[in-house]
């Protein structure tokens, strides 16, 4: 089975200086959506051209610029010139650095987060955000549905997002990203419960392949969830100056959500290890039962082999050889001895192969 391995957690730009903008191979053409809103008005446009984007100017309203697709280097040059987005931040956007983090650039804040994509196996997409004043610019390299509920909330004049500033909008973007971990973890939990129930009912090495695949997915989620928790904690402490006092309690709630995701992922990891130990233990017990049965069979035939070997000697003067009933007596002795030894092992459970 092939798995998408797009984000490895490290940016790679060998031989080039810091801040070099390199468009990813096969990147789709960018689509730009611009939303300008305040408490009493809301305007959203999709398919904004680079010329129109260059004419935008920050004002008293909140300006949200969404960039989907990285297939235009001139667009990023425009963002650097028009909205003073640092070159290092744009490099992180294009490189898909993978690890959630935040950087401070004077009066601006740059955040990299990860959002889970729906699917059988966990896959994560990078969402980057640049905040300066009342302007928020978000980046993702493909169209995602994760921010669709947020756009709908902006259409409601009574929503808290509509009545708040760009800092609260940044929180809502990160909250939407963290919320995508919930269905991902629920799906992992359902898969793990199924593997655990199957292992309890029919533990065998055939279940190990699916279990190891599940453990790999759990490790991937943990690898993403831990930096997200660090990011939420940093927002509440290191980047507190970029947020209004009314937004700070929501940042604490965001931190709690990421803590819950990390704790649940750690629980799944430990549970997967327990299931693996259950399979190994059950297989070892069955192997021991088979070895014990073989030992019992060997123990039964050792005295029988001694008797038959004794009377198999080709000596002429053996008293029992010429006795008329010797064969039947020896045969009865062998059968009785074998039966008694078998019963002795049976009472001690050495002949039970169904032990679990």
Per-residue model confidence as pLDDT tens digits over 135-153: 999 998 877 788 888 988 8
Among 196-200, 255-259, 311-315, the least confident range: 311-315
Q: Which pLDDT belongs to residue 50?
A: 83
Average pLDDT of the residues in 74-95: 88
The mean pLDDT value for 266-284 works out to 87
pLDDT of residue 265: 93
Q: What is the average pLDDT across 28-45?
A: 89
* β 42-46/123-132 pair status: unpaired
The domains of the chain, with CATH numbers, are: 1-159 (3.30.460.20), 285-347 (1.20.58.340)
Q: How confident is the model at residue 4 (pLDDT cuts 50, 70, 90)?
A: very low
pLDDT tens across 24-34, in order? 777 788 899 99
DSSP 152-185: HHHT-TTSTTTTS-HHHHHHHHHHHHHHTHHHHH
Which of 328 and 228 is assigned the larger pLDDT?
228
Angle at 204 between CA 203 and CA 205, to 5 degrees: 140
Q: Quick one: pLDDT at residue 259? A: 94
Checking if the pLDDT of 2 tops 50, the result is no
Q: Is the pLDDT of residue 11 over 70?
A: no
pLDDT at res. 3: 42
Report the pLDDT value the prediction gives residue 145, as an integer from 0 to 100: 82
> Tokens for 343?
């019963």
Question: Which DSSP string do the residues of 183-242 spell out, in sequence order?
Answer: HHHHHHHHHHHHHHHHHHHS--GGGHHHHHHHHHHHHHHHHHHHHHHHHHHHHHHTTGGG
Which of 130-134, 202-206, 280-284, 285-289 has maximum average pLDDT?
A: 130-134
pLDDT of residue 168: 94
Tell me the backbone φ, ψ of residue 30, rounded to 5 degrees.
Answer: -70, 145
* pTM greater than the 0.75 cutoff: yes
pLDDT value of residue 218: 93
pLDDT reported for residue 242: 92
What pLDDT does residue 1 have?
39
Residue 236 has pLDDT above 50, yes or no: yes
What pLDDT, in 10s, does the model give residues 53-71? 888 877 789 999 999 988 8
Furthest-apart CA atoms within the chain: distance in Å: 122
Per mean pLDDT, which range of 3-7, 38-42, 212-216, 264-268 is the poorest? 3-7
Under 8 Å between Cβ of 203 and 277: no
What pLDDT is stored for residue 270 in this prediction? 93
Tell me the C-alpha distance between 354 and 36, whole Å: 70
Instruction: Check residues 178 and 340 and name the one with the higher pLDDT.
Output: 178
**Average pLDDT estimate for 318-345:** 77
pLDDT at 113: 93
Average pLDDT score over residue span 248-256 = 93
Mean pLDDT in residue range 288-308:
75
pLDDT of 162 over the 50 cut: yes
- What is the residue-averaged pLDDT of the chain? 84
SS3 at position 138: strand
Q: Which residue has the tokens 């029919």?
A: 202
The full length of the chain comes to 356
pLDDT of 178 reads: 94
Q: What's the rounded Cα separation, in Å, for the pair 74 and 90?
A: 12
């Amino acid at each position: 089975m092939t798995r998408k391995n797009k984000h490895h957690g490290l940016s790679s730009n060998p031989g080039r200086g810091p801040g070099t903008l390199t468009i990813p191979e096969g990147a789709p053409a960018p689509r730009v959506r611009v939303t300008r809103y305040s408490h009493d008005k809301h305007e959203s446009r999709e398919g904004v051209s680079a010329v129109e984007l260059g004419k935008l100017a920050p004002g008293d309203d909140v300006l949200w610029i969404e960039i989907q697709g990285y297939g235009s280097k001139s667009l990023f040059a425009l963002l650097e010139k028009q909205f003073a987005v640092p070159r290092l931040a744009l490099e992180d956007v294009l490189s898909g650095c993978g690890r959630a983090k935040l950087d401070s650039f004077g009066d601006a804040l740059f955040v990299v987060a990860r959002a889970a994509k729906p699917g059988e196996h966990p896959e994560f997409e990078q969402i980057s955000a640049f905040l300066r004043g009342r302007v928020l610019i978000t980046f993702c390299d493909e169209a995602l549905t994760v921010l669709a509920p947020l756009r709908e909330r902006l259409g409601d004049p009574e929503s808290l997002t509509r009545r708040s500033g760009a800092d609260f909008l940044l929180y809502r973007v990160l909250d939407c990203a963290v919320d995508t971990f919930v269905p991902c973890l629920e799906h992992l939990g359902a898969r793990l419960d199924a593997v655990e129930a199957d292992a309890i009912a029919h533990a065998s090495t055939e279940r190990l392949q699916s279990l190891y695949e599940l453990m790999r997915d759990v490790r991937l989620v943990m690898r993403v969830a831990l930096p997200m928790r660090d990011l939420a904690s940093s927002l509440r402490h290191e980047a507190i100056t970029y947020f209004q006092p009314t937004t700070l309690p929501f940042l604490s709630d965001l931190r709690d959500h990421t803590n819950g995701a990390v704790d649940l992922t750690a629980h799944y990891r430990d549970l997967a290890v327990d299931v693996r130990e259950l399979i190994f233990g059950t297989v070892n017990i069955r192997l021991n039962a088979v070895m014990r049965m073989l030992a019992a069979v060997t123990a039964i035939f050792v005295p029988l082999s001694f008797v038959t070997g004794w009377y198999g000697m080709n000596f002429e003067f053996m008293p029992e050889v010429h006795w008329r009933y010797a064969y039947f007596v020896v045969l009865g002795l062998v059968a009785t001895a074998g039966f008694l030894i078998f019963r002795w092992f049976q009472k001690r459970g050495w002949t039970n192969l169904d032990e679990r």
